[in-house]
């Protein structure tokens, strides 16, 4: 059996999914974490799967996540729906519930955050709520795993017995009732043919959902009859069809809440605390300085204190292991070429990248804490006004923030944007946000050429990426993407203590992905780079990598980068390998400079000067993302032309910015 997990954004849906399945899906305290359905087997139930669908406020297809959710329910036809509802905000959450109930699919309501309701002295009479809605209501606390076993048992029961929601007429009389009733009769046979509730189809038709007109195969007479019924309803209510339906739902919700919900205060303890904190964190004059200060502190702790110390320890361990393996190969009398492959290829490449694992884990620890507390949602809220000036809505900040972790999920998360214009524009801008795969490049160069200002260099690079993204957005706004961004609506969640489980799961996920990449993509890239740098065009071993095939290829391209200050073939070659994975830039330099796992300052100084190193950092910040990100961009834009144009634009911008830095630096330094 398949259960569809449906609910509003930020109501604990992914937390409940983790509790049901034991999955390690990341839980974030801002909308947009789930951008496509994720499935997992339900613990304790054989052959039962639960699908975590994107958070939505309505089944009306305004955005991609609403389409994903609606289409899954209608086409995959799950045996039951688990509708998770935020008990602290029933009025808003039940709006979606009423739409789901019209589908006539077995449904159970998971009343989440009941621990917070009780802590604030409130109560929810689940029996009255269940009677009013016609479906079982189970109180739970997903984060504390309270009531989850009762929930899944009830879901299994109603799914096995096919117990559909009891029919509920939100308005037993009046113009809205008459309109729904007449349209339901008209589309009844058509709805039965596609296996969807007649009432749901009727409401979709009244809402003007053109896709449903096509699904139902309505003829012109039937369309005109429906339009006549809608016109009569609008004339009697004085409202358009959607407003009339919405008012009917909210009137029903208000009457239900009046009977079943008891609150002691209009404002909960968590909300009062959040409002006090928001006076500073979202204040008119304090929000941006606080955000900049928080990010600077995170970079300083990551690259100047905690992360660097841990990275140095791991680097020492890798170097010691390399020496032991090298001595073992020598004593065993291993062929020199094989020894070079193992030491100069595998250990120099993978080892140099793995030593930066602590930096990535520490950085994502801090970012996960900010996300779990609810601060990231505030960042989106604060940035809305600024983003509107460059032609985007505040909701675009979510993919951009995710882009600081990895461009692939960032590009995918643009599905949460309901405007096609905003979505495409955000996809094209997201790669300018510096992903975590570039951290090893920044860390190595900063420690080699700017050791006293490493944290400041990191902050400057991240800020430069944002600044260039803004400039590109302004150009897009005036040319390719004319028009205004859509209105931005976002609920600010209450501040909550970070979940240790959620933080640990995210860190494990990032560490696992990094290690997997190190031993797959980077391993292959490293071996290929070693091969091309160890043999000439006649496949004879070379004593100097400058005589290798790789050098010949690099020297052909190197002149293009002479104005940028790094016309050395080794630097150019590392950029080419960086297209497979950005971490491979450092592993390639490790192989080509022949220094083993520890890519030290002396080795880099044979290739770069401080000024050319700064130019190289700017280029790596801005040039094309990895091949996986390019594939994601191609999939989301659904256009090879736009994807190629995006790559070319980024490379041109990167070259121009790097050349500008080097040429201006040559004048003033």
Tell me: the pLDDT tens digits for 537-553?
888 888 776 778 878 88
From residue 328, alpha-carbon distances to 108, 318, 374, 523, 530 in Å are 63, 15, 52, 22, 21
Q: Where are the domains of the chain?
A: 2-161, 175-260, 289-487+502-668
Residue with tokens 């509920």: 168
Are residues 50 and 40 in contact, defined by beta-carbon separation less than 8 angstroms?
A: yes
Residue 301 has pLDDT above 90, yes or no: no
Are residues 662 and 654 in contact, defined by beta-carbon separation less than 8 angstroms?
A: no
The percentage of the chain sitting over the pLDDT mark of 70, rounded to a whole number, equals 90
Q: Regarding predicted confidence, which is higher, 563 or 532?
A: 563
Q: What is the mean pLDDT of residues 392-415?
A: 74
Cα–Cα dist 249/171, whole Å:
9
Strand partners, 112: 86
CATH class of 2-161: alpha beta
Residue with tokens 């240790």: 500
> ∠198-199-201 over CA atoms, to 5°?
65
Q: Burial level of 669, CB count in 10 A (0-12/13-18/19+)?
A: exposed
Q: Positive or negative, the Cα torsion across 646, 652, 656, 662?
A: positive
For residue 39, report the phi and psi dihedrals to the nearest 5 degrees: -120, 155
CATH class of 175-260: mainly alpha
Closest to 101 (Cα-Cα) out of 208, 243, 207, 249: 249
Residue 521's SS3 state is helix
Residue 124 has pLDDT above 50, yes or no: yes
Q: What is the mean pLDDT of residues 602-630?
A: 87
Closest to 564 (Cα-Cα) out of 669, 660, 460, 445: 660
Q: Name the average pLDDT for the chain.
A: 82
From residue 198, alpha-carbon distances to 164, 216, 246, 543 in Å are 14, 10, 19, 78
Closest to 340 (Cα-Cα) out of 518, 531, 552: 531
Least confident residue range of 127-131, 371-375, 466-470: 371-375
Residue with tokens 């996960």: 368
Kind plus residue range of the DSSP H or E element containing 118:
helix 114-119
Cα–Cα dist 9/490, whole Å:
9
The distance between the two most distant Cα atoms of the chain, rounded to a whole number of Å, is: 94
Q: How far is CA 532 from the centre of its chain?
A: 37
Are residues 68 and 36 in contact, defined by beta-carbon separation less than 8 angstroms?
A: yes
DSSP per residue over 79-104, as a string? SEEEEEEEGGGHHHHHHHHHHHHTT-
* DSSP letter (8 states) at residue 146: B
* 624-667 pLDDT, tens digit each: 888 778 877 887 888 889 889 989 999 999 999 999 999 999 88
Residue 124's SS3 state is strand
The percentage of the chain sitting over the pLDDT mark of 90, rounded to a whole number, equals 15
Cα–Cα dist 182/185, whole Å:
5
Q: Positive or negative, the Cα torsion across 43, 163, 66, 253?
A: negative
Cα–Cα dist 282/383, whole Å:
10
Residue 65's SS3 state is helix
Are residues 552 and 537 in contact, defined by beta-carbon separation less than 8 angstroms?
A: yes
pLDDT of residue 360: 72
Using pLDDT thresholds of 50, 70 and 90, give the confidence band for residue 296. Answer: confident
* Entry pTM: 0.63
Residue 391 has pLDDT above 60, yes or no: yes
Residue 141's SS3 state is strand
Sheet containing strand 137-139, strands side by side = 38-41, 49-52, 2-7, 80-86, 107-112, 137-139
* 417-436 pLDDT, tens digit each: 767 787 888 888 888 888 87
Closest to 573 (Cα-Cα) out of 547, 587, 553: 553
> ∠243-248-249 over CA atoms, to 5°?
100
Are residues 123 and 154 in contact, defined by beta-carbon separation less than 8 angstroms?
A: no
Cα–Cα dist 405/361, whole Å:
11
From residue 78, alpha-carbon distances to 106, 198, 450 in Å are 9, 18, 57
Q: Regarding predicted confidence, which is higher, 545 or 569?
A: 569
3-state SS, one letter per residue, for 372-438: HHCHHHHHHHHHHHHHHHCCCCHHHHHHHHHHCCCHHHHHHHHHHCCCHHHHHHHHHHHHHCCCHHH
* Helices 357-373 and 306-331, packing angle to 10 deg: 150
From residue 19, alpha-carbon distances to 34, 142, 147, 353 in Å are 16, 7, 11, 34
Cα–Cα dist 346/587, whole Å:
9
* 473-502 pLDDT, tens digit each: 888 888 777 766 655 566 677 787 877 877
* DSSP letter (8 states) at residue 106: -
DSSP per residue over 439-486, as a string? HHHHHHHHHHH-GGGHHHHHHHHHHHHHHHHHHHHHHHHHTTT-S-PP
């Amino acid at each position: 059996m398949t259960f569809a997990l449906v609910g509003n954004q930020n109501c604990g849906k992914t937390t409940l999914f983790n509790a049901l399945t034991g999955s390690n899906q990341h839980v974030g305290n801002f909308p947009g974490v789930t951008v496509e359905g994720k499935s997992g087997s339900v613990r304790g139930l054989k052959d039962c799967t639960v699908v975590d669908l994107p958070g939505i406020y309505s089944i009306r297809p305004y955005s991609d996540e609403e389409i994903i959710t609606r289409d899954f329910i209608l086409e995959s036809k799950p045996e039951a729906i688990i509708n998770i509802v935020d008990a602290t905000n029933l009025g808003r959450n039940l709006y979606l519930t009423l739409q789901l109930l019209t589908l006539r699919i077995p449904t159970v309501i998971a009343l989440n955050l009941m621990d917070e309701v009780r802590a604030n002295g409130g109560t929810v009479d689940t029996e009255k709520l269940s009677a009013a809605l016609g479906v079982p209501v189970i109180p739970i606390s997903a984060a504390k795993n309270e009531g989850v076993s009762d929930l899944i048992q009830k879901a299994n029961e109603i799914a096995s017995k096919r117990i559909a929601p009891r029919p509920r007429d939100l308005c037993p009389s009046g113009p809205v009732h008459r309109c729904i009733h007449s349209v339901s009769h008209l589309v009844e046979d058509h709805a039965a043919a596609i296996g969807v509730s007649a009432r749901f189809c009727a409401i979709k038709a009244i809402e003007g959902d053109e896709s449903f007109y096509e699904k139902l195969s309505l003829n012109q007479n039937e369309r005109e009859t429906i339009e006549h019924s809608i016109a009569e309803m609008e004339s009697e209510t004085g409202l358009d069809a959607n407003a009339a339906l919405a008012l009917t739902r909210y009137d029903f919700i208000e009457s239900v809440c009046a009977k079943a919900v008891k609150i002691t205060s209009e404002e909960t303890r968590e909300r009062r605390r959040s409002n006090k904190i928001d006076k500073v964190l979202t204040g008119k004059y304090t929000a941006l300085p606080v955000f900049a200060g928080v990010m600077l502190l995170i970079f300083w702790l990551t690259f100047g204190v905690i992360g660097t110390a841990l990275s140095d320890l791991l680097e020492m361990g890798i170097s010691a292991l390399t020496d032991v393996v090298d001595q073992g190969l020598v004593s065993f009398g291993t062929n020199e070429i094989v020894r070079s492959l193992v030491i100069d290829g595998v250990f120099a490449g993978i080892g140099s990248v793995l030593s930066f694992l602590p930096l990535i884990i520490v950085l994502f620890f801090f970012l996960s804490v900010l996300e779990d507390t609810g601060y990231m949602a505030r960042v989106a809220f604060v940035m809305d006004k600024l983003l509107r000036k460059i032609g985007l809505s505040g909701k675009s900040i979510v993919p951009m923030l995710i882009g600081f972790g990895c461009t692939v999920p960032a590009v995918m998360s643009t599905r949460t944007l309901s405007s096609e214009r905003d979505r495409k524009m955000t996809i094209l801008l997201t790669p300018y946000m510096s992903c975590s795969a570039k951290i090893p490049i920044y860390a190595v160069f900063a420690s080699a050429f700017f050791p006293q200002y490493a944290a400041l260099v990191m902050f400057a690079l991240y800020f430069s990426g944002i600044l260039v993204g803004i400039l590109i957005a302004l150009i897009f706004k005036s040319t390719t993407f004319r028009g205004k961004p859509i209105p931005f609506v976002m609920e600010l969640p209450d501040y909550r203590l970070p979940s240790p489980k959620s933080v640990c799961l995210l860190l494990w996920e990032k560490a696992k992905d990094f290690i997997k990449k190190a031993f797959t993509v980077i391993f292959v890239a490293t071996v290929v780079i070693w091969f091309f740098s160890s043999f000439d065009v006649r496949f004879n071993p070379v004593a100097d990598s400058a005589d290798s095939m790789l050098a010949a290829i690099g020297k052909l391209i190197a002149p293009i980068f002479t104005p940028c200050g790094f016309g050395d073939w080794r630097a150019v070659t590392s950029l080419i390998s960086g297209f497979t994975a950005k971490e491979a830039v450092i592993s390639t330099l490790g192989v080509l400079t022949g220094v083993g796992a520890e890519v030290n300052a002396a080795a880099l100084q044979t290739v770069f000067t401080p000024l050319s190193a700064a130019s190289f950092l700017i280029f790596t910040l801005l040039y094309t993302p990895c091949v996986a990100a390019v594939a994601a961009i191609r999939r989301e834009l659904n256009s090879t032309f736009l994807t190629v144009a995006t790559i070319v634009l980024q490379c041109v911008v990167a070259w121009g910015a790097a050349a500008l830095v080097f040429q201006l630096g040559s004048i003033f330094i």
